[in-house]
Amino acid sequence: MPDASDLAPDVLSAQRRAVARALTAVENGLPGADDLVDALYPHAGRAWRIGITGPPGAGKSTLTDRLVTAFRERGETVAVVAVDPSSPFTGGALLGDRVRMDRHAEDDGVFVRSLAARGALGGLSEATEAACDVFDAAGYDVVLVETVGVGQGEIDVAEATDTTLVVLVPESGDAVQAMKAGLMEVADVFCVNKADKPEAANLVRALRSVLHLREDEAPPVVKASALGGDGLGALVDTLDAHRQRLAESWAEIRAERLRRRVRRLVEGRWRRDFWAGGRADALAEAVRELDADERAPHTLADRVLAGDLRRA
Ligand SMILES: Nc1nc2c(ncn2[C@@H]2O[C@H](COP(=O)(O)OP(=O)(O)OP(=O)(O)O)[C@@H](O)[C@H]2O)c(=O)[nH]1
Ligand SMILES: [Mg+2]
């Protein structure tokens, strides 16, 4: 099998096939994927990475499609990554149905791709960042990352993007649900979608009052209807304003993200290497053979760390 890092020059010259293969490599942790990311990273850093998240059916895909059109109209190229944090098994099949970007299929300035973190060390954040690096190095101006499903995955994606757009809809419990998922903390901009529905105004009010509980400045809340297109201009302006604010501290943001990313990679590798070396098997064996009065979790942890349980 050819080494994935060979793809770097063709990714840098924005060849679509190379970009597609590079994404497959980073998604699955294929041989050479790490070197590929390292080769591309110095050429990345220009693209604006926007995470789009929110409960199922909120209209994220519809909105993403609208944003693609808006960015294309002003001449920016756009990549779309649909991330499925929920399942390593259903990724491809499900995402195919859930990402409807047919209207951009003929447009060379748009690249749509789904992503399930199957093999990347460092999990979903790393897979997402690596995918963004690929698109960024290939010269895409904007990378939209739509998260499918709910849970920790949304927070991982927020870590990997510059601007986090949280989409909510005027259906019961949304504001509360967002609070639970930790979305309130990571959101840079809120979009109350389906504003054509009468309850939208109530949700905007409820959100604003909840957001005042945040310690930092409350993020803006924009009402829109992705389906009809109302409010899209205001949403793009609000996103642009956040991008503008980021620009003031771009270098620090990037440095901080790199720091976190390297820590994640170190921890991932450390964990893998630690449990390799026979420790995982030795622990399993010890646990099987222990008498009831020896089943002591902290003592066992001490023994694992002391190398006491390491298999010869
Ligand atoms: N009334 C109304 N319906 C909308 C609006 N935006 C999206 N929808 C509808 O809501 C449904 C879900 O939209 P999607 O864009 O697929 O939502 P999603 O958040 O991407 O859904 P998942 O990816 O499955 O979580 C579709 O039937 C859309 O047509 C809107 O502004 N108003
Ligand atoms: Mg969707």
Nearest protein Cα to ligand 1, atom 29: 227
* CATH of residue 85: 3.40.50.300
**Dihedral in degrees, nearest 10, Cα atoms 109, 114, 118, 120:** 30
Look at residue 94 and tell me if it is in a domain: yes
Q: How far is the CA of 157 from the centre of ligand 2 (A)?
A: 15
Q: Which ligand is nearest to the CA of 195?
A: 1
- pLDDT grade for 86, boundaries at 50, 70 and 90: low
Give the total residue count for the chain.
Answer: 312
- Which residue, 95, 85, 245, is CA-closest to 159? 85
Is pLDDT at 310 greater than 80 in this prediction? no
Q: How far is the CA of 35 from the centre of ligand 2 (A)?
A: 32
Q: Which atom belonging to ligand 1 lies closest to the Cα atom of 193?
A: 31
Count the domains in the chain: 1
DSSP 59: S
Look at residue 289 and tell me if it is in a domain: no
Pocket test for ligand 1, best of 61, 62, 168 (most atoms within 8 A of CB): 62
- pLDDT grade for 54, boundaries at 50, 70 and 90: confident
Check residue 170 and give its pLDDT.
85
**Residue-number span of the structural domain to which 148 is assigned:** 41-248
Is pLDDT at 217 greater than 50 in this prediction? yes
In angstroms, how far is the first alpha carbon of the chain from the final one? 35
Listing from the earlier edge strand, what are the strands of the sheet with 189-192? 110-115, 78-83, 142-147, 48-53, 163-168, 189-192, 221-223
